[in-house]
Amino acid sequence: MMADLRHIGTAPNRKAASNRMKVCKEPFDLRKYLLPAIRYGSRGGLVILIGALLTAAVKVLLETTPFPVRQVEVRGLQRLTRDEIVALTGLTPGQNLLTLHLGKVGRQVAADPWVASVRVQRFFPGTVAISITERKPVAVVNLGLLYYLDDQGEPFKPLSFGDTLDLPVVTGLSEEQLEGDPEGTRAALKSACDLLAALRQHGSFILADVSEIHYDKDRGFTLFTTSSALPIRIGSDDFPGKLDRFARIYQTLMSQQPGPQYIDLDYNDRVIVKKS
C-alpha cells in the first residue's frame, strides 16, 4: 500500500492570521472647516457690501450735489475782462463745487500771457474765487518780432493788431541770441528793466523822453530821445548815479542852440557832450 506523500513538508492548511493592525477612522467633520470659512466669508462679504453701498452713496451725492457753482468772482483785473477769465476756466453754472479741480482751473487761466500768477479758491455753498496778478509791460522788445517785456525782463506776449506801442522799444537783441545764450540775453533784458526803473524814478529826465533803448554787448545801453533821436550812452551799470549827474545839466543842455549831437554818461565823474 502506497502512502500519499504530497503533504509531507508542508504546513497544515490553516487560514493565515493577519499581521495588520486595524485602524479606526473617525468621521470627517465638515462643519469644523466650513463654519470658520462661512464666518470669515460673511465678514468679507459684509465689508464688500458696505463699500459698495458707500460708493453708491458718494456717487449719488456727487451727481445730485447740494453745492452747485452759482457765482464766479474774479479779482485783480486791469487789462483782461471777467468774461475772458471765466471763459478760460471752463466753468459752467451748476457744476459740482465738490469735484471741481482747482489746479486744472488755475492752469487754464494761467495759459493767458497776461496772467503772471493766479489763485483759485472755493467757498461753500457755491462760489469760486479767482485772484489774478497781471503782467506789467514796461517796454516793447524787438526780437525779430515785437514782444511786450514785463518788469522782470520776460518777453511774454507778441504784439498783435490793436496793441499799444506807447512804450520804449528795446533793440539790439534777437531770438537767435535768446536761444543761443539764454542766460546772457535774459540778463541784458533784466538790466534794461533796471534802467527803465531808474528812468521812471527820475524827475528831470522822464521815461516819456525815451523812445528807444539799444543794447550792445560791449558798449552797454544807449538811449535815444523821442524828440530828436539824440543818442545818450549810459553803459551797463550805476544807472541812478549816471542819471543824477545828467539831471544837473539836462534842462540847460536841452535849451541850448544848437543842441547836442551825442551825450556819453558812461563815466564815474563826468558827462561828455558832443555838439555840432
Query: Considering Cα of 48, then 51, then 53, then 56, what sign does the dihedral take?
Result: negative
* Of residues 148 and 59, more confidently modeled: 148
The whole-model pTM stands at 0.72
Architecture of domain 137-275: 3-Layer(aba) Sandwich (3.40)
Q: Which residue has 472647516 as its cell numbers?
A: 33
Classify 101 as helix, strand or coil. coil
| pLDDT tens track for 199-241 | 988 766 677 789 999 999 999 999 999 888 999 999 999 999 9
Q: The domain at 71-134 falls in which architecture?
A: Roll (3.10)
E-state strands within the chain: 71-75, 115-123, 127-134, 137-142, 146-150, 155-158, 169-171, 210-216, 220-225, 231-235, 260-264, 272-275
Residue 39 reports pLDDT greater than 70: no
